[in-house]
Amino acid sequence: MANLFGTDGVRGIANRQLTPELAYRLGRAAGYVLAFQGKGDAGIVIGKDTRISGDMLEAALTAGICSVGVNVYRLGIMPTPGVAYLTKVLNKEAGAVISASHNPFGDNGIKFLGPGGSKLPDAVEGKIEALVQDGGDLPYPTGADIGRVDQVDNAAEIYRQYAKSLFHGSLKGLKIVVDCSNGAASQITPQVLEDLGAEVITIFAEPDGININRQCGSTYPEALQKKVLEEKADLGLAHDGDADRVLAVDEKGQLVDGDQIMVIAALALKAQGLLAGNKVVVTVMSNLGLRKAMERAGIEVLETKVGDRYVLEKMQETGAILGGEQSGHIIFLRQNNTGDGLITGLNLLQVMVDSQKPLSVLAGQMERFPQVTVNVTVTDKEKVLKAQTVVEEIARVRERLEGRGRIVVRPSGTEPLIRLMAEGPDEKELTELLDELAHTVMHAE
């Protein structure tokens, strides 16, 4: 059970790797580490997405938490950012999310949030993992000291009202197509947009436990692009399964990714004098076009490795209020302390309403450079990356692209892969360079 926690909690195939037994042990360990205070009112809120395995894992996780004398507050189906917000406003010691985000329905995950809905530091996750692995000397209270379970019936409404409060003005006159990915935001995002005055056409918002992320949502935006054109809509918004990210589609059916959304937001905030520190935080995978757009505007770009937790850490460390990933996982830190697809969508709409410009014009503030990616399966990632032939080939490619583009070579955090990405103005050249590099990597072991 080594390395139980990945970059975003504990993930695996539900009922095989992520079993009810493991969920129960996680509940006991997390309940004790995060909320056990020897008093009766300590509590953890739990939300889940729409996967069929969510109920099973929630029951086991709840049992584990209650067994150490900690109360559980069930939110039901709730986007990950909604769980973070409810953890804060209900003033509970911790939160738990049962979701595997954009993964297929057979997968699931459990991740924990600290006070205020923040992500847990590695050291705290390490304490939980240690207790899961060796059992520890955890309490078994009896009688009235056993944890209670409470259903928070108005959880979705609390989150909806908060999101609505962040938007100033009206969406009247805008037609918006929303792809909910048959996930956690299916009953939330469309309602918020309608309440604000928009005409909303909703697709993939009928979850049945097994259709979450199935050829829909932010990882499969083609259906949304088609629907926006059919409906002659002003834009489309696409969530992933737990709605912590969003991608957009403009009125011409063109995809607007997380990099473009960050550029739109950063330029608008700067124009209003609201971009704290005059900086944004992105990952190494963000498009070169974002960097050039920010450079033109005099906005500093801070870079982290891939992973929203690293973006958040850098934001907190530097005082930045805007950061995110190309995937649409964007953090508006003054509004929520995690990526929030609904809030990101509202911020994008705010710029559209305030500027009275169509999304295609706003997205055009950033030129998106071609990116070519190749994944190479290897046995020993560290050995391959240190191989002399690989080091020399990477240097050669970087020299070829100097001043015109760039290359990123990184090991996958979850799979036996070396990920290669090249970026620049000439896609044919990028493909040729990566083919050569991939061949070198493949034969380096």
Instruction: Tell me whether residue 101 is one of the annotated catalytic residues.
Output: yes
Tokens of 151: 């259903």
Q: Give every residue of the chain whose pLDDT is below 70, as ranges.
A: 1-2, 37-40, 414
- CA–CA separation, 229 and 115 (whole Å): 43
Q: Which of 53, 67, 99, 101 is catalytic?
A: 101
pLDDT of res. 147 = 95
Categorise residue 255: left if φ over 0, alpha if ψ from -120 to 50, beta otherwise.
beta
Tokens of 445: 């072991």
Separation of first and last alpha carbons in the chain: 28
pLDDT of res. 309 = 87
CATH number listed for the domain at residues 10-153: 3.40.120.10
- CA–CA separation, 401 and 61 (whole Å): 50
CATH 3.40.120.10 in the chain is located at 10-153, 158-363
Nearest one of 11, 88, 90 to 57, comparing CA atoms: 11
**Span 167-194, pLDDT tens digits:** 999 999 999 999 999 999 999 999 999 9
> Is 3.40.1170.20 the CATH number for 158-363?
no
CATH topology of domain 371-442: TATA-Binding Protein (3.30.310)
pLDDT of res. 414 = 65
CATH 3.30.310.50 in the chain is located at 371-442
Q: What is the 3-state secondary structure (H, E, C) of the chain?
A: CCCCCECCEEEEEECCCECHHHHHHHHHHHHHHHHCCCCCCCEEEEEECCCCCHHHHHHHHHHHHHCCCCEEEEEEECCHHHHHHHHHHCCCCEEEEECCCCCCCCEEEEEEECHHHCECCHHHHHHHHHHHHHCCCCCCCCHHHCCCEEECCCHHHHHHHHHHHCCCCCCCCCEEEEECCCCCCCCCHHHHHHHCCCEEEEECCCCCCCCCCCCCHHHCCHHHHHHHHHHCCCEEEEECCCCCCEEEECCCCCEECHHHHHHHHHHHHHHCCCCHHHEEEEECCCCHHHHHHHHHHCCEEEEECCCHHHHHHHHHHHCCCEEECCCCCEEECCCCCCCCHHHHHHHHHHHHHHHCCCHHHHHCCCCCCCEEEEEEECCCHHHHHHCHHHHHHHHHHHHHHCCCCEEEEEECCCCCEEEEEEECCCHHHHHHHHHHHHHHHHCCC
**Span 195-243, pLDDT tens digits:** 999 999 999 999 999 999 999 999 999 999 999 999 999 999 999 999 9
Nearest one of 345, 352, 280 to 311, comparing CA atoms: 280
Categorise residue 92: left if φ over 0, alpha if ψ from -120 to 50, beta otherwise.
beta
